[in-house]
Amino acid sequence: AQTVTQSQPEMSVQEAETVTLSCTYDTSESDYYLFWYKQPPSRQMILVIRQEAYKQQNATENRFSVNFQKAAKSFSLKISDSQLGDAAMYFCAYRSAYSGGGADGLTFGKGTHLIIQP
């Protein structure tokens, strides 16, 4: 079974600064998908960014980018120019590229609580 580990329960960053959230995963599969979801106090799960494992290029979405290191099984999220609205729980998630069984569901890390200091 796959596992996802987020080693930082909480991170704090000054507004307008850059912060990096860490995520590592364990899998024996070669093809999979990785996601970062944001959960603000409203508890809505919002997709931030997505990465396909077969793509070497790191995904970017405006101020959000990832550093995907497949060999190291690492998938960190970088938030540039942090804004107050970025304050939330951030979850890293893994999904196998193979269908069937429980493979289609997402496996989540425990989350990182991001605090933005004004």
Partner 1 sequence: DAGVIQSPRHEVTEMGQEVTLRCKPISGHNSLFWYRQTMMRGLELLIYFNNNVPIDDSGMPEDRFSAKMPNASFSTLKIQPSEPRDSAVYFCASKVGLTQGIQETQYFGPGTRLLVL
Contact between 91 and partner 1 by CB under 8 A: the answer reads yes
Q: Which stretch binds partner 1 (CB under 8 A): 13-21, 58-66, 70-78, 96-104?
A: 96-104
Query: What is the Cα gyration radius of the chain?
Result: 14
Sort 8 into a burial class: Cβ within 10 Å, 0-12 / 13-18 / 19+: middle
100/118 with CB nearer partner 1:
100
Contact between 97 and partner 1 by CB under 8 A: the answer reads yes
Contact between 36 and partner 1 by CB under 8 A: the answer reads no
Candidates 111, 112, 114, 116: give the one binding partner 1 (CB under 8 A). 111
**Residue among 38, 43, 33 at smallest CA distance from 106:** 33
State the minimum distance, in angstroms, from the CB of residue 106 to partner 1.
6
Q: Which of residues 50-69 bind partner 1 (CB under 8 A)?
A: 50, 52
Candidates 5, 16, 18, 110: give the one binding partner 1 (CB under 8 A). 110
Contact between 43 and partner 1 by CB under 8 A: the answer reads yes
Distance CA 71, CA 45 (A): 28
Phi/psi at 43 (5° precision): 75, 0
Distance CA 102, CA 85 (A): 34
